[in-house]
Copies of this chain bind each other. A is one copy, B any other.
């Protein structure tokens, strides 16, 4: 199975395209595409002395305004120390606001300030432009397949996070 040959039998249900070579090409496509995917925001962030970690925080705070630190931790999959370092600078720079919870006062609810929203817009505009161009080039059916495969590649918990964001956001 891992010998690089195409499957020989006739009865493989849809398996004809799953040669090792094609799977390898899929890996490489992911690698190169992800580079492109992050390139544009990275350029913007560089000038601001921020990194990809800041972008991720801003993105998901914008996506789920009022989210708690713990929730964000789960989505991002990093330690609270790591997130806190990023969050601290964003708060200090006036891009993110942290409000004590009304219901449970231990929790902090995170929001973007106007400045934060402006940066988010700038970053996501850049990223969306690339995605939009790619979508347009590939066509609608390709986009559906793209999303389908990506979703199938996720870990189950990530898939749940993704689905949850989709419900509330779109």
Residues of B close to A141: CB separation below 8 A: 141, 145
Give, as a whole number of angstroms, the nearest-CB distance from A67 to chain B.
Answer: 14
A to B CB contacts below 8 Å, 28 in the list? A14-B140, A18-B132, A18-B136, A20-B124, A22-B170, A24-B124, A25-B147, A25-B166, A27-B37, A29-B150, A29-B151, A29-B162, A31-B56, A32-B150, A32-B158, A32-B161, A32-B162, A33-B149, A33-B150, A33-B151, A33-B153, A36-B154, A130-B153, A135-B149, A141-B141, A144-B145, A145-B146, A146-B148
Interface of A is mostly: helix
> Does A9 count as interface, using CB distance less than 8 angstroms?
no
